[in-house]
Structure 1
Amino acid sequence: MFDCAAIAPAWFCQHREVLLNVLLYLAPSLALALVIRRLAAFHPFFFLFTLAGTICHELAHFCVGLLTGARPAGFSVMPRRVGQSWQLGSVSLTRVRWYNAAPVALAPFLVAAVPLAVALWRAQPGWHFEPLDLLLAFAVAPQFLACWPSAVDWKIALRSWPYLVIAALAWSASYYTVILPPV
């Protein structure tokens, strides 16, 4: 009908069956995540369904804080009311600097590896849903909600603005040394 290589990169064409199996496997978890998010907006009781994701989100901050020298001092996954919204968890850091603010604040992106790892494990060629997959769908769904940094996390990440200057300098240096070789 059509040649895959004509419309997609070669790596996609080589692994398209695995990629499609992973997407198909994760679809129920993603739909369940949207339901959980909607229910949690109605009543705090439904925060119980987000607990696994909240733990992973805060553990990501905590572990990256340890690795980058931000000195985590506190860890909480108890929901509490903050103004008109809820704060589901928090990690207190005592040494956030320009060089570690972005890695620590954006650490929840690492949580996206959890659903991907589960899907790669379970969605092998010839797979089919089993009762275990229903349990895993409930465990993986909160991870989709937890892998995006909060508004506070994004504000903290802005403390690492010197990274932008360093990246711009590195890009311009590579541009002038690679693209325009010396005469």
Structure 2
Amino acid sequence: MVISEFGRGSGVLGGNADFFISVVLVVLIGRIKHLHCRSLWSAALVNFVGVVFHELAHYLVALVLGGRPKRFSVWPKRTADGFLFGQVVCARINAFNALPVGIAPLSLLPLAWLIHRKFFLYLQPTPWNYVIYLFLMVIVIENALPSSADWRLVRQFPIGLFGWIAVLTLGVVAWQRHLL
């Protein structure tokens, strides 16, 4: 039975194909969720836990890299463009820390992988537990994606973006040469 092996990396499809299927289902469920959450409060309720993790990632990276977070909010607001579910306001965003602060929510992706690998080791693979698994994956993966405001922050400091790309490229080249 496919569901009994789900999350252990040895499913019928082999390897990590079951994780790929989960991600596809998560994206589909997320799109359906967004189509049906028309009120501010229903959308906020469905997204609250993920928003907390998303904004906390921004806050912690800003704190570590000298961005001086001043305000942390997860209280939903209606804006001209839609809904604003959370916000971290920082006093010192610059070319050095803009990219890491902006893409900080991507640090939630290892949590999605951990849920995928361990969830069914602790719970029986029942249909209800699979629904819970998918719900957790939707929350984590959707909120691991940087928002349009996050990307605007990164684009404000193009020199920092190119600097980080250069440093990472040089690091990969040096690492590969060391291994060869």
Residue of structure 2 in register with 1:12 after alignment: none
Superposition map of 1:12-161 within 5 A = 17-40=14-37, 42-47=38-43, 48-122=45-119, 128-129=125-126, 131-158=128-155, 159-161=157-159
Q: Could you say if the C-alpha distance between residues 26 and 123 of structure 1 is closer, same or farther in structure 2, counting changes exceeding 3 Å?
A: farther
Instruction: Provide the TM-score with structure 1 as the length reference.
Output: 0.71
5+ residue gaps, structure 2, are 1-12
2:76 touches 2:85 (CA, 8 Å); kept in 1?
A: yes
- For 1:50 and 1:98, the matched residues in 2 are separated by 30
Percent same amino acid among aligned pairs? Answer: 21
Residue of structure 2 in register with 1:6 after alignment: none
Amino acid at match of 1:35: I
The alignment partner of 2:83 has SS state of strand
The alignment partner of 1:92 has SS state of strand
Shift of 1:122: 2.8
- Determine which structure has more spread, i.e. the larger CA radius of gyration: 1
Q: Could you say if the C-alpha distance between residues 169 and 79 of structure 1 is closer, same or farther in structure 2, counting changes exceeding 3 Å?
A: closer
The alignment partner of 1:96 has SS state of coil
Q: Could you say if the C-alpha distance between residues 99 and 160 of structure 1 is closer, same or farther in structure 2, counting changes exceeding 3 Å?
A: farther
Amino acid at match of 2:36: L
Q: Write out per-residue CA displacement over residues 107-158 of structure 1, whole angstroms, 9 at most, x where no aligned residue.
A: 111222222210011356xx83453332232232122221221222112112
Shift of 1:28: 4.2
Shift of 1:71: 1.3
- For 1:132 and 1:149, the matched residues in 2 are separated by 28
Instruction: Provide the TM-score with structure 2 as the length reference.
Output: 0.72
